[in-house]
Structures are given as C-alpha cells and as structure tokens.
Chain A
Amino acid sequence: MGIIDVKEVSFSFANGEGPKILDSVSFDADEYEFVSLVGPSGCGKSTLLRIIAGLIHPTSGSVSYMGSTISQPIRDISFVFQDFALLPWLTNVDNVSVGLSHTKMNEKEKEKVSIEMLKKLDLGGFEYAYPNVLSGGMKQRVGLARALISNPKVLLMDEPFSSLDELTARALRSEVIRILKDKAQSVSSVIMVSHNVEEAVELSDKIVIFSNKPTHVKAIKQISLGDNRNRHSKEFMKIVDETYSLLVG
C-alpha cells in the first residue's frame, strides 16, 4: 500500500449521468516516489488529480491517503496549479501566506515564514511586489512556495511547467528536483500531471500512462535512472522512446 492509493476510480460528469471520463483507474504513490501521469490531452488527467486532492468526488472507487479515504482537501496534500492561481490583488508574500490559512500562526509569523520561503525559491526582493511584475517562471515559483509552505506530505502538480517557455521550464524543473531532495522539506511523494514525456522521464520514479476515451491505465512504467539524469544519454532516450511507444501503441 502506497501513501496515496487510487483504487478503481471511475468518473462521469453530471453526477455520473454524463459520458465516462475515467474508467476504473488504479495506481499508487509510495513514500519518496515521484509519479507522473501522462496521456493524451483532454483525457482526464487533471480531473483525476482533482479527485486525488479531494476537490471532486469519484463516481465510483476511492482514493486514500495513508489508509484513510480522501473525501475533501486535507492539510497534508498540497497543489500546484497549471495557471499558477495567484491572487493578483495580493502581494507575493501574501500569496504565499495563503498556504498557511489553516494554521494558528499570527500574521507576523506567517509573513516571516513566507519571506523565508520566497528567498529559498530565489524570489528575494520581490516579497512585496504584486504577481503582475513577475515572469511566468517566477509566478510558478510563488505557486510552488505557497504549496510547500504548509509542509505537505504529498504534492500534486497539474502541468506545472506547461505555461512556461522551454528554458524557464528547464530551470524550474531543476529547482523542483533540488527542493524535493532537500531533507529539510516535508514532501515525500509527488504526483504530477504532464503531457511532456521527456519531462516525466527526467523527474519521475514511475510513469502512469493513460489511454483516451474513457481514460484507463494503459501501463505503469518504473524509471530506474537514478539521480542527475542526462537528457542526452542513451538510457534516457531509450526510456523516452519506450514511453512514447506505450503512449501511442
């Protein structure tokens, strides 16, 4: 049993009356495991991630965290949004503090911790600026800071790099790897939705490959490349090719 267990999850819109989006999806995410969900666009990966987050309920099946069923968002699971979901009317430090809403910390403490987190993510100097002055990559780092500040055990990421240009995305991916390896931080499992196979191979320990209409798990591929992955190495390319074959096959 993993930290997150997705068990035969099916989902249809319109209270189960609409067309089936997910069909009996099962997989798990173990401790210290980075899992990517890869599949054709529009296949329901983001819906699945929202089910895992407790934002929507599956029509049948269940998702559990450390053995307890998830029926609503819980503190140990945090989320990074594709469109950053920063509140434009809050300063960056306040946007990060939003991640501490459920704590009993006073405002001063929240501010202090949020500033530290922003600094950790190389956003020192932008604490009291508004998101509109940040580049896409910086905005996503604020989103990441907000997700990490509450010390979650599980981090869910919905195509976190897809709104960024390739260079920025590459830099931010390395940053994510650096942060997740940091022993001081709390995250032990990551589940990321992606449509980019190279990205999934670079980051993941396990890739869950989906097929379309309705979405079901086509294959689960373990990646055993170790740390410091080189995108140009033969092994890396081989795994990418294999994953592509599974995806289109």
Chain B
Amino acid sequence: MVGIYPEFILLVVDTVYSWARMFVALFISMILALGIGIWTARSAVAGKIIIPVVDVLQTLPILAFFPFAIYIFVFYLPGYIGINSAVVFLIVTSMLWNMIFGVNEAVRTIPNEVIEMSRVYGMSLYKRLRMIFIPASLSKLSEQMSLSWAIGLFYLVTSEIFSTGNAKYEVRHGIGVALTQLGASRNFPAYLLGIGVFVLFVVVTRLLFFNKFDEYVNKYSTNVYPRHRHKLGLFDSLHMINFPKVEAGMSRLKGYMHSHRKLIFLALGILILALSIFLLLRLTINSQNMVSKVFYTIPGYEAESLFSLLLSFVRIWGAFLLILAISIPISVYVVFISKKKNTFLLLFQIAASIPATILLPILFIASGGNAEALAFMIFFLSGIWYVIFSILSRSKYLQSSIEDLQKIFQIRGINAWRYIYLKAIGPGLITGSITAIAAEWNASIIAEYFSSNGLSTSVKVGIGRLLDLSLSSGNIVLMLIALINMVIMIILLNTFLWKRLYSKVTAVYS
C-alpha cells in the first residue's frame, strides 16, 4: 500500500494533463462549432456546401490520420508543442462535427419573428450574435458537447498511447501514456488504480462540469424558447456517440446524395488529388532524383496499401461479425425482455467509458502475445458498445404499445424475433454498425502495431501497421497513399452499402 500513494498522485497528475488537452480541444471546438454552425444556418450557400462535407467527415475514421497529423504538426512546430498540438487537433476533429450540427439546428429553428425583430431594431452582427444566435445555440451545444467529450476520450487515449515508445513524438504526460507504461512494466495494481482514476475523472467531469453547464444554459435558454428538454443523467450519453447525429446525417445525406452526389464526389476527388500533388511536390522539390523515384514507387505503394487494406478489412469485419453475434441478442434482451433496463444501461455505460485501447496491456497478456488475437480483441472492444448503445438509444422511439401487442396477440419465440425484435432494432443496428466500424478503423493504428517498453505487437500486414511504420520511417508518400485508399473505401462502403441499407430500413417509418 505504501507504494500506491505516490503512484496515485502521479496518475492524477497525468490525468490532469490529459484533461487539459481535452478542455483545450473542447474550447476550440465550441468556438468553431458556434462560428460554422451559425454561418451555415444563416447562409444558404454556406449550408449547401459545408454541411454535406461535414456529413462525410463525421463517418471517417479520422484517428487513422493521426500519424499524418503528427508528421505535419511536428514538421512545423517541433517537439512538445507540436505533438500536443497534433493530439489537440485530433481531439477537435472528433468533437467538432456533431457540435456544428447542434448549433446549426438550433439557429435554424429560431422563430422567424425573432430574426425580424433584430432587423426592425437594426441590430448589428455582433449584437445579433451575442443576444440571439449564441444564447439560442447554447442548449443544443451543451447536449452535443457532452457527447463529443465521450468520443474525444477515445481519441485522446488512443493518440496518447500511440505516441508512447517513440521519443520524437511522445506526449510524455497523459493517462494513456501512464497506463501503457504501467501495463508494460507489469505493475498491475497501479495499472488498475489508473483505470479507477480515469473512471473517477470521467464521473467527476460529468457531475461538476457537463451537468452544471447543461443546467446553466437551460435555465438561461428555456425562458427564451420553451422546448422539450432531455435531462442529462450521470452516465447519460457517455461514449454513446451521437447516433441521432448519424441518423440525422443519414437522412440529410439521402437528400444531398440524390441531388449533389456527383458534385460531392468531384469535390472530394479534387481535394484529395490537390493535397496529394501538393505533398508530392513539397517532398520532391529539394531533390531532382526523388521525382522519378517517387513516381516509380507509387504503383508498389498502391499495391502494398491495397493488400494491407484488404487484410485489415478482413480483421475488422471479422470482429464486427462477432460484435453482431453478441450485441444483437444482448440488446434484444435488454430492450424487450429484461425488466432491469436501467441497471444494464448503467453497467454498460461504466464499462464503455473505458476506451478499449487503454486495455492494451491486459489484452496483451490475454492474447498470449499473439498479434492477430490481440488486434481482434481491440477491434471487438472498440466497436461493440457503439452497436449496443445505438440500439438501446433508438429503442426510446419504439411505441410503448409493442409490449401490450406482444401479450395480446401472444407473439412469442420465433415469431417475436421475426415480427418485432430483428426489425425493430434495424435502424439502430445500422447507425451503430457504421460508428462501430469507424471506431474499429480508428483503433487500427494501435491494434495492428504497437511498440513500447517491452510491450510490442505487430500483425504481418495491415493498414494500421502500414500507417505507423510509414510515420516512423518518414515515408509520407506511402502514408498518404494508404490513407487515400482507406478513405475511398469507407466512402464507397458508406454510400453503396450503409446508406442504401439505411434508406431501405427506414423508408417505412415516415
């Protein structure tokens, strides 16, 4: 016990470092969300261009861009500042999108009379922002911030863990770093204590910051426009990602994709192409020889990326199939059969508040050092909660009469599965699957390759491994090609598989 106290203090200090990154990222996200959200709501043109792009961005596994972000940030801001900026930047990219949608929606639903009033009294832009747009957005912003925080935690921990073991890119202090080092040195009492500290910080932040902030902004805004409010519970929405966000995005995209499909693909294509040319030129500008060398190696890089992508795809979808096999019966049991839904929800939320990547040292031992088994376990744990919570959160919208219906018409056994359970969970299952698979891709940079203080794992071939190795060897061309391949695959899958499936399943709900 004597040794635990200094450990405890150190763990708290490390968590404070991590939380500092989180709050800086949250603050930046708030400012950006207010700016972009209000702008896109008030300007039809901005809304038409930016909102579809944000929709695409939110389904991409941006964490896979982390090696690339580190490279860019450390290139311009060397050392400690650079790597921390990269981490904060990554967290912002995980927090921002749903917050933009929240603000956008809040501003769009401001009664027209209020806007007209501001015109009648000749209010300046500054006054309109301060007196109308920002106050009206705060309630929705608060709701979305709470969700963003949960997503951000996963990004924070994973990017911290990723940075350990590489002196050039290490963040040094952070709970993710501390836990990985403790796990690697097999100091398990301190490791478990660290997980306890992490969960404690999650709970305290929710109670002392998010709940208070939510109370404050709602006291403030309900007087302006009364609206139906969902009170945030202790663990409410913890790690639940914003399924409503994904759903809303899906329905919006259905429309956009029909009318602007070509335009979106064209814009994305041009963006990726421009970025690639810029980087290639940048890299080759100093060496004439490099030009021919780079272009000579591109087909080889492309082949390597595609092969890596294929193997990662098999792992990720394999883990996803197991996720389905387990999460569907569990969710059906909790939603339709169990009488203790709230107890299960609380248990799940506590379990899900621990990012899967933080469990790396334990999983390392559990897998017996088998890299494939370890990757599979991390993928599984990264994705499963998204499916379960998505189904549970969607079940709120099921008619309360379903239970009566089942009893009256005695719909049991196979009939219950056929007529009710499997169909009722459909929309939640699809949105959960999209977020789960994105989370799995996100985790790939840790799951497929990791090396620090005697804790090392590496699959033979995989996109996460390729991204990690291309960073450490400084091969930015290979990294970029791998990223572009992955992004294209995910966009194609979202468009041709998930969106179609979602449209088909939800068509009957309108």
Contact = CB atoms under 8 A, between A and B. Distances in A.
A132 B509 contact: yes
* B interface SS class: helix
Contacts of A150: 409
A131 B509 CA distance: 9
A146 interface: yes
Interface residues of A, number: 27
A244 interface: no
Contacts of A75: 410
B79 to A, nearest CB: 56
Interface residues of B, number: 22
Given A81-B404, A81-B405, A102 B410 contact: yes
A77 B409 CA distance: 9
Contacts of A94: 419
Contacts of B510: 132
Given A131-B508, A132-B510, A87 B420 contact: yes
Contact of A101 (B419, B424, B508): B419
Contacts of B419: 87, 90, 94, 98, 101
Interface in A29-76: 50, 53-55, 72-73, 75
A137 interface: no
Contacts of B508: 88-89, 130-132
A79 B510 CA distance: 25
Interface string B403-430: 0110111111001000110011010000
Contact of A79 (B404, B415, B507, B509): B404
Max chain A C-beta neighbours (<10 A), residue from B507, B508, B509? B508
A83 interface: yes
Nearest to A100: B409
A160 interface: no
A50 B505 CA distance: 32
Given A98-B409, A132-B509, A132-B510, A85 B423 contact: no
A83 B399 contact: yes
Max chain B C-beta neighbours (<10 A), residue from A77, A83, A89, A150? A89
A78 B404 CA distance: 11
A154 to B, nearest CB: 12
A89 B410 contact: no
Contacts of B415: 101
Contacts of B405: 81, 85, 87, 98
B401 interface: yes
Contacts of A99: 409
Contact of B408 (A79, A89, A90, A130): A79
B423 A53 contact: no
Given A98-B419, A130-B508, A131-B508, A85 B404 contact: yes
A131 B423 CA distance: 14
Given A90-B423, A132-B509, A132-B510, A85 B402 contact: yes
A85 B399 CA distance: 7
Given A81-B401, A83-B399, A88 B509 contact: yes
A101 B401 contact: no
A99 B505 CA distance: 23
B399 A101 contact: no
A53 B408 contact: yes
A83 B401 CA distance: 8
Given A81-B405, A85-B402, A88-B508, A101 B410 contact: yes
Contacts of B408: 53, 55, 73, 77-79
A85 B401 contact: yes
Nearest to A97: B419
B411 to A, nearest CB: 4
- 7 smallest A-B Cβ distances: which pairs? A89-B423, A85-B401, A130-B508, A102-B410, A101-B411, A79-B408, A73-B407
Interface of B: 399, 401-402, 404-405, 407-412, 415, 419-420, 423-424, 426, 505, 507-510
13 contacts: A55-B404, A73-B407, A77-B408, A85-B399, A87-B419, A87-B424, A89-B426, A98-B409, A98-B411, A99-B409, A101-B409, A102-B409, A102-B410
Interface of A: 50, 53-55, 72-73, 75, 77-79, 81, 83, 85, 87-90, 94, 98-99, 101-102, 130-132, 146, 150
Given A85-B405, A98-B409, 16 more contacts: A53-B404, A54-B407, A73-B407, A73-B408, A73-B410, A75-B410, A79-B408, A87-B419, A87-B423, A89-B423, A98-B419, A101-B415, A102-B409, A130-B507, A132-B507, A132-B509
